[in-house]
Amino acid sequence: MPSRDKEAVQAAGKGLLDYIGGVMEEADWGGFVELADMVPQVDRTFLTGAGRSGLVARSFGMRLMHAGLPAFIPGETVTPAAGEGDLLVGVSCTGTTGYTEYLARRARELGAKVIVITAEAKSPMALGAHKVITVPARGSNIVVRAAVFEHAASLCLDAVFNILVDRLKIDPASLRQRHANLE
């Protein structure tokens, strides 16, 4: 690889890392603390999003499972019915993703609490949520903006997981025991 290409890729990566860091400085950390407070109190947590935001939601669901907390992904064949006492966490940069917005609305109709993690606090999905947690990625380039949102949201949710592990006094051995082993 020519040195010029390596430098360009490295500079682009550094620029993204700086952008992500700035977004995390402005993230709604109080909202993430509220999420950490709520997750152990609900019967089940359902996690949703579309595209890469969906992968962020699924990753957090996997971590909740590692912590021994009941977490489910809507649309999977083993996902139970949602209702009162449950929580749906929807992840969407724009807050307008049709599938995620529909599931948030449906979860509310069924009596579940809805938390939306988004960059757009006044989006349709956010306006119908019980709680909105902002990860304020901004910019006119939606691809870069969404990528930064997804990385920052993922890091914020990993922080929530770390807090849950500490609060619930989960030892590393039990985390390893629940980690996938059919690989």
Residues marked as catalytic: 150
Q: Round to whole Å and give the CA distance between 28 and 133.
A: 6
Beta bridge partners of 71: 45
Q: Round to whole Å and give the CA distance between 9 and 53.
A: 24
Identify the H or E element spanning 80: none
Q: Round to whole Å and give the CA distance between 133 and 39.
A: 14
- Burial category of 90 from C-beta neighbours within 10 Å (exposed 0-12, middle 13-18, buried 19 and up): buried
